[in-house]
Chain A
Amino acid sequence: MENTSQGTIFGINGPVIKVRGKHAFQMLEMVLVGHDRLIGEVIRVLETETIVQVYENTTGLKPGEPVISTGKPLTVKLGPGIIGNVFDGIERPLAQVAKNTGIFITRGNVMDNLDREKLWDVRILVKPGDYVTQGKVLAEVKETESVNHKIMVPPNVKGEIIEAASDGLYNIDKIIVKVRDGKQVHNLTLVQEWPVREPRPYYHRLPLDIPLITGQRVIDTLFPMAKGGAAAIPGGFGTGKTLTQHQLAKWANADIIVYVGCGERGNEITEVLEDFPKLIDPRSGRPLMERTVLIGNTSNMPVAAREASIYTGITLAEYYRDMGYDVAIMADSTSRWAEALREISGRLEEMPAEEGFPAYLPSRLSEFYERAGRVETFNGTEGSVSIIGAVSPQGGDFSEPVTQNTKRFTRCFWALDKALAYTRHYPAINWINSYSEYNDDLSDWYSKNAHVEFTDKKKEISRILQEEGKLLDIVKLIGSDILPDEQKLVLETAKVIRQGFLQQNAYHEQDTYVPVKKQYLMMDSILRLYEKAMMLVNLGIPVSVIRRSGVFDEVIRIKYNISNDDLGAFDELNRRLEKTLEEIEAEYK
């Protein structure tokens, strides 16, 4: 650690610094820049100079100031105290920053990433004489009411335990176990370090056949996401990327949520901080904040740290995965991260590829999304990291490089649509352009856990929507009045699906989250109505007569009228609908 390799600043251009002097710097090494010891990272090593990107504002730096090597890459500290916290892009706790510098973030904030005073109630699970290898759980700490933090043997460490502490209250620096590997003795504490740009190892990958249930109907039924999968949410401004991300962070059935606010609004971080402690996780009955960690590197914070924030986030996610948890990470927005790459690349005068983005944009994106996955860990548990990345295409145009390249490396594509957002159809996920390639792999799970007919019903729902799309092209030209009644019924039913099923109000107490069983029953009621109404239409009863009875409106209002814990009400509803339709039929005969 006390490496004295040192150079001096020669040139300064925004966050990019040229360093000359003794050239013992390593690629991707973390360095301390200037008298204020700003944190930086070596991004290029040349014969005569080294290029460093600085994670803080460089105003006021001068040529000649020292640049000190730390001998290690940019790393994060992993241990108890992460959950419930808010960090900047390089894992500095923002609450601590606020204690030091008040409402504004100033530079040169050197601080501990994790609280070193706090005492944790540690339960030791090993004893001297045990032989341990990487990933083995040494101890457990109740990090929050919802999260049992497992202290693991760090990757690449193995050996025989020669000393183990007894259960007790310890801070994170306490050596709880000493492991001897040949001549070397590892002193293991409650914390380990890991370089953010390197994926953490696991035993092997598992198939992606369990859905990440989100409680959002259009996602869970039409475009489901797998635990360990990767999804993209592209959309122009105001189409609902952030709100969808927040909804998933609130309701997805993951054990841990890592939310990365990457180059977006400060108020959106504040909102999570205000809401999550008050919202209750329907599964644990505990506040959502107890399973959530936030990384906030907002648009006005230094751009190099924005670039790092994505890696910091995914590394935290992998760490909890290694304990056997299902982790979901939301990155809002990956486009801002790509732009940070572009900005740094521009300062380095690299040859740009498309729209000024560097040629390595696709490989960086693929490396990031490859870190998603469901795995068997080294301690024999199963864990997953699911990545949900928002994409903010310039001009809302999906043909731009970030959207196109993201599409290659993700398998769920939830395309947000400006036209839908303008009509306040939320979530504005376009049901024609979106897709999920996990559909087939997950259908078994749905038939076992939701309903055997789940997949059939959803196919029928999609079919009606597709047909509506075709009919609407005709309606645009001639109006709907002269369509045959069968087709009018398709339009009417599609409207019920859109308004009653696809539209979901994030601000409504019941509608904000809907269990899969209820999603099934809603589809079921809609399709029953459709079939029965089709029979009437075939008997020559006009759709307008059926409409006047109010059956369609009643189904549209299911989401508000039948609460999530009263699924018995569906039987009653279906009977009532049937009765109304029978009455119409009787009257008509």
Chain B
Amino acid sequence: MCGVVPQVLVFTSGRIRKTMNVEYMGLKEISGPLVVIDGVKDASYEEMVEITVGKNKRLGQIIKIDGELCVVQVFEGTRGISLENTRSKLLGKPLKMPLSKELLGRVMDGIGRPVDELGEIYPEKSWDINGEPINPVMREYPRNFIQTGISSIDGLTTLIRGQKLPVFSGSGLPHNQLAVQIVRQAKISDTENENFAVVFAAMGVKHDVAEYFRQSFQKSGVLDRVVMFLNLANDPVVERIVTPRCALTAAEYLAYEKNMHVLVIMTDMTSYAEALREISSSKGEIPSRKGYPGYLYSDLASLYERAGMVKGCKGSITQIPILTMPNDDITHPIPDLTGYITEGQIVLDKNLSQKGIYPPVSILPSLSRLMKDGIGEGYTRADHPQVANQLFASYAKVQEVRALASVIGEEELSEIDKLYMKFGRKFEENFISQDFRENRSIEETLDLGWTLLRLLPKEELDRISPDTIAKYYDISESGAGDF
């Protein structure tokens, strides 16, 4: 563990627990996913509770204590539970994730229990799934470029190892394909395929989506480096709160204990946040925006901030959370609060998708905050920052010209504006758009950028220094004829 083992909480505070085997019969109240147990002695905050209903055992967690009253959220839901038919037992520990390198290649349910019939995991370690905040002085600032082979990402919203870079999508958009293409093509580890791993957390997604990911991992031959955590659409809602935490605990183990570079895909964060809202409303909490609890920001941060790199460790955790924006609204609390926490966002756009452009990355609202430190001389190529900047600025200008064209007609545009119209079209068709199987090197991406910029007169390139223009704009290069 790169030096230090995280504190494992045992809930005895140095005293021997006398009540370990006490069972509490019946309940005082049931409300949504929550139950209230009365007369509890010696309960610890956030301790796990096992609730037996007939022959069937369910897990829950204490989320509030008031004297001898304990409010417990039941992961598997409260269906079939009555005030009389339960026996509850305190387990004396928080929810823990059993950890071992054997996790690779395995499929688990939403609370980290194997479901692939390959048997139990023999844990080497067992960690509290809530993790602990990384001390900012122990973080290593991420700077290593991950080539994904996708021009819109590598060129304009560069992914950095240890970054948290979500995909903001909408229903019907190819965010899953994009995630799969990233996993397939990303050069995460310097030593190629040696020590990278993928942790996949599904929250409330349909069965066929989970299956699509599994098959894609299989086809690209990485399945034995993937750990999957599945809470599907018909799985219990409360469990959904736990799924990403189990996944991130596994990721931390692989990164900080086994020095692996871990890519974590979490989908769909919208379902996750909705589950949080549902539980919050059963608790009768005062909502903030759109019914989401006031602590949604802190809660999401407790997941996203688990990405990163730390001093003295070779491993890293890179997160690509996927969320579907309700009503394609980027100001909705889920994308909004996510964007406030993550280090940028890749925004997908319906209009581009309808034009047949894959991946439909809307570059203007997309951003990679860590890009500045991982591109340019010594990282990608010296001209990269300027090319990226110019492409953004010129494409922004295209939007203005298009708005004007829609008013006065394209024929009425000035000559220079017509060039912008052409640039915009070619940029979308040739730069943003690429095949699902196409893997472009960063040089190819940047050269393509120049080919496009050459459609515009030099004077228009106000974000590029004269030397860089001299070096890249003026050379006539084969292939430029395409446009």
Interface of A toward B, CB cutoff 8 Å: 10-13, 18, 34-36, 57-65, 86, 94-95, 97-98, 101-107, 236-238, 261, 263, 265-267, 269-271, 273-274, 296, 298-301, 303, 336, 339, 342-343, 346, 349, 352, 355-356, 392, 394-397, 418, 422-424, 475-481, 499, 507, 550, 553, 556, 560
Contact = CB atoms under 8 A, between A and B. Distances in A.
B305 A355 contact: no
B14 A273 contact: no
B209 interface: no
Nearest to B296: A339
B367 A238 contact: yes
Interface stretch (B133-141, B437-445, B470-478): B133-141
B: contact size bracket: 35 or more
Contacts of A86: 136-137
B295 interface: yes
A103 B305 contact: no
Nearest to A418: B365
Contacts of A101: 4, 7, 135
Contacts of B140: 270
B423 to A, nearest CB: 15
B287 to A, nearest CB: 6
B308 A356 contact: no
A313 to B, nearest CB: 15
A12 to B, nearest CB: 4
B118 interface: no
A65 to B, nearest CB: 7
**Most A CB within 10 A of own CB, among B94, B137, B301, B417:** B137
Interface string B336-374: 110111011100000000000000000011010110100
B287 A479 contact: no
A266 B42 contact: no
A77 B164 CA distance: 36
B392 A65 contact: no
A423 to B, nearest CB: 4
A103 B287 contact: no
Given A36-B13, A61-B44, A298-B305, A274 B141 contact: yes
B462 interface: yes
B333 interface: yes
A28 to B, nearest CB: 23
Contacts of B1: 102
Nearest to B329: A395
A257 B83 CA distance: 59
B256 interface: yes
A102 B305 contact: no
B369 A238 contact: yes
A101 B331 CA distance: 39
B131 interface: yes
B412 interface: yes
Given A423-B393, A481-B414, A499-B462, A59 B297 contact: no
Contacts of B392: 423-424
B403 A476 contact: yes
Contact of B133 (A104, A355, A418, A476): A104
Nearest to A86: B137
A141 B413 CA distance: 69
Given A270-B140, A296-B136, A560 B465 contact: yes
B294 interface: yes
Contacts of A274: 141
B310 interface: yes
Interface string B212-245: 0000000000000000000000000000000000
Contacts of A476: 403-404, 407
A356 B404 contact: no
Contacts of A298: 133, 136, 301, 305
Given A299-B341, A423-B393, A60 B47 contact: yes
B396 A422 contact: yes
Given A12-B65, A97-B135, A105-B135, A238 B256 contact: no
B418 to A, nearest CB: 12
Contacts of A342: 288, 294
B6 A94 contact: no
Contacts of B9: 59-60
13 contacts: A34-B13, A61-B44, A63-B65, A101-B135, A104-B132, A238-B344, A261-B136, A298-B301, A299-B341, A346-B293, A475-B404, A480-B414, A556-B462
**Most B CB within 10 A of own CB, among A36, A237, A336:** A237
B11 A346 contact: no
**Most B CB within 10 A of own CB, among A298, A475, A476, A553:** A298
B67 interface: yes
A62 B256 contact: no
B336 A103 contact: no
A83 to B, nearest CB: 16
B302 interface: yes
B2 interface: yes
B26 interface: no
Contact of B42 (A62, A236, A271, A556): A62
A265 B3 contact: no
B67 A63 contact: yes
B288 A355 contact: yes
A103 B46 contact: no
B139 A266 contact: yes
A377 B463 CA distance: 48
A301 B302 CA distance: 8
B139 A267 contact: yes
B13 A103 contact: no
A59 to B, nearest CB: 4
The 9 closest A-B pairs by CB, nearest first: A102-B4, A299-B301, A395-B331, A423-B396, A104-B132, A237-B339, A269-B136, A300-B305, A356-B288
A452 to B, nearest CB: 32
B134 A103 contact: yes
Contact of B11 (A60, A336, A392): A60
A271 B373 CA distance: 10
B45 interface: yes
Nearest to A500: B462
Interface in B102-151: 128, 130-142
Interface in B383-433: 385, 389, 392-393, 396-397, 403-404, 407-408, 412-414, 417
B442 to A, nearest CB: 19
A300 B13 contact: no
A339 B2 CA distance: 34
A300 B46 CA distance: 17
A424 B389 contact: yes
A104 B364 contact: no
A513 to B, nearest CB: 17
A556 B393 CA distance: 15
B18 interface: no
A103 B311 contact: yes
Contact of A553 (B64, B136, B345, B462): B462
Given A63-B43, A422-B396, 15 more contacts: A11-B66, A35-B14, A57-B132, A61-B44, A63-B68, A102-B135, A104-B6, A105-B132, A236-B331, A265-B341, A266-B134, A266-B308, A270-B137, A299-B301, A479-B404
A303 B256 contact: no
A507 B372 CA distance: 8
Contacts of B68: 63
B134 to A, nearest CB: 6
B285 interface: yes
